[in-house]
Amino acid sequence: MTDNLQQSFKALADPSRREILMHLSKQDMTIKEVSEHFDMTRAAVKKHLTILQQGNLINIQKNGRERINSLKPEGLQTITEWMDYFNKFWDQKLNNLQTAVANYTEKDDVKNK
């Protein structure tokens, strides 16, 4: 696993950071605006935002004295691509389950005739 991907998963490991991402998915926000959604200090929010930036999940852009935080969709795409690899295992399991249910239903229909 690459260091960038490792940082992304580290960033997603915390529920507060996942919630911050949900807020940033709706609009760009300053640290103050993000802080208004949480019962924590601005310093704590800033630390969470820094970890999200290190995980390549958000952009932080300075605008005068403010720092504007925005979602970075391409960072999420990297995680999605990594996880998509494992979908094939679920797909196969679900296909096997569908086949088993169909076979069971067919046997049940034959018994009832």
Q: Sort 79 into a burial class: Cβ within 10 Å, 0-12 / 13-18 / 19+.
A: middle
Per residue in 65-75, pLDDT (tens digit) is 999 999 999 99
Per-residue pLDDT at 104: 77
DSSP letter assigned to residue 13? T
Domain residue spans in the chain? 3-74
CATH 3.40.1280.10 applies to domain 3-74:
no
pTM given for the model? 0.75
Asked if residue 85 has pLDDT above 60, the reply is yes
Per-residue pLDDT at 106: 65
d(CA 78, CA 68): 23
Asked if residue 97 has pLDDT above 90, the reply is no
Per residue in 14-39, pLDDT (tens digit) is 999 999 999 999 999 999 999 999 99
